[in-house]
């Protein structure tokens, strides 16, 4: 069951990465015309991703919280035994960054609500960028931790 | 709109409450994964490690909710700087990098 939930957690994280990356890039570096891969990636309407990002974040977060105890019992113990402090510390940072993102979610949802308020442009850019950073950091760290210990 | 003034307060209060809860281990509840038991508030580990992260989240949600609710009478008549909604979590993120630096410099 844990393996199934871990894979589901990873798949939801991939979907979340795609959505938050599209939104963040479109907010910071918008493209007027969708010509070619790069401009097409940036030319999305960021606001349309907001609900999906909130829902995917919550699902991924809850799944991560469910599979956290097996990591605490087996994964972290292994990292400590092997003195892999950088990996261990990265996971500690991951849990703090994502917890802070969870607390920021109502604010994020508010600033991206349509019709978009021009006065909240910077808040939209920054809240998306912080969640973008936390999600990417969490994904890479989770991937590395998983590779260190394996899923079985 | 009231939510426009309350969400930055919740975001900032949550971040501050979280770093205080994490640094002082103010957990609303403790999970003992080895024996699959939950306990109220911060408890000593039982038959294995104790997990406090869920409790820190609980503490932060309750504290941020209380601060937000308490601020309602004030924000009805005053504006709230939107910048606190993202700047405070950003500062706390950087602070956590500093607080956890020992992991990376052993």
Q: How far apart are CA B89 and CA A51, in angstroms?
A: 21
Residue B32 to chain A, least CA–CA distance (Å): 9
Q: How far apart are CA B16 and CA B88, in angstroms?
A: 8
What ipTM was assigned to the predicted interfaces of this complex?
0.93
Residues of A in contact with B87 (CB under 8 A): 126
Could you list the mean pLDDT of each consecutive 10-residue stretch along chain A, which spans 152 residues? 91 96 92 80 86 97 94 85 90 96 96 88 96 97 86 54
Q: Is A148 on the interface with B (CB under 8 A)?
A: no
Residues of B in contact with A86 (CB under 8 A): 103-104
In terms of Cα–Cα distance, which of B55, B53, B54 is closest to B41? B55
For residue B105, give every residue at least 6 positions away whose Cβ sits within 8 Å of its Cβ, in sequence order, or none.
Answer: none
Residue B99 to chain A, least CA–CA distance (Å): 10
Residue A135 near residue A101 (C-beta atoms within 8 A) = yes
For residue A146, give every residue at least 6 positions away whose Cβ sits within 8 Å of its Cβ, in sequence order, or none.
Answer: A6
Contact assignment for B86 to A126 by CB distance below 8 Å: yes
Q: How far apart are CA A25 and CA B81, in angstroms?
A: 25
Residue B27 near residue B42 (C-beta atoms within 8 A) = yes
| Summary mean pLDDT of chain B | 93
Q: How far apart are CA A18 and CA A87, in angstroms?
A: 24
Residues of A in contact with B106 (CB under 8 A): 83, 85
Contact assignment for A73 to B92 by CB distance below 8 Å: no
Per-residue model confidence as pLDDT tens digits over A60-94: 999 999 999 988 888 888 888 888 899 999 999 99
Contact assignment for A103 to B60 by CB distance below 8 Å: yes
Q: How far apart are CA A109 and CA A82, in angstroms?
A: 41
pTM (two decimals): 0.93
Per-residue model confidence as pLDDT tens digits over B53-84: 999 999 999 999 999 999 998 888 888 899 99
Q: How far apart are CA B22 and CA B1, in angstroms?
A: 33
State the Cα torsion A75-B52-B9-A94 to the nearest 10°.
Answer: -10
């Amino acid at each position: 069951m844990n393996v199934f939930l871990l894979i589901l957690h990873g798949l939801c994280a991939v979907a979340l990465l795609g959505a938050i990356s599209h939104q963040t890039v479109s907010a910071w570096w918008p493209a007027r015309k969708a010509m070619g891969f790069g401009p097409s990636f940036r030319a999305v309407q960021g606001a349309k991703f907001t609900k999906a990002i909130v829902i995917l974040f919550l699902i991924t977060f809850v799944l991560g919280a469910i599979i956290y105890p097996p990591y605490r019992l087996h994964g972290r113990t292994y990292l400590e035994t092997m003195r892999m402090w950088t990996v261990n510390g990265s996971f500690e940072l991951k849990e703090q960054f994502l917890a802070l993102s969870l607390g920021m979610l109502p604010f994020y949802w508010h600033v991206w609500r349509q019709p978009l308020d021009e006065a909240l442009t910077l808040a939209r850019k920054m809240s998306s960028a912080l969640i973008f950073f936390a999600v990417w950091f969490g994904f890479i760290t989770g991937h590395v931790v998983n590779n260190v210990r394996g899923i079985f | 709109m009231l939510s426009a003034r309350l969400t930055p307060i919740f975001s900032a209060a949550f971040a501050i409450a979280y770093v205080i809860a994490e640094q002082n281990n103010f957990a609303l509840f403790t999970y003992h994964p080895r024996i699959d038991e939950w306990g109220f508030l911060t408890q000593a580990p039982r038959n294995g490690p104790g997990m406090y992260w869920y409790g820190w989240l609980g503490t932060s949600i309750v504290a941020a909710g209380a601060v937000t609710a308490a601020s309602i009478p004030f924000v009805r008549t005053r504006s709230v700087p939107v910048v606190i909604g993202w700047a405070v979590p950003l500062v706390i993120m950087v602070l956590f990098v500093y607080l956890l630096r020992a992991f990376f410099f052993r």
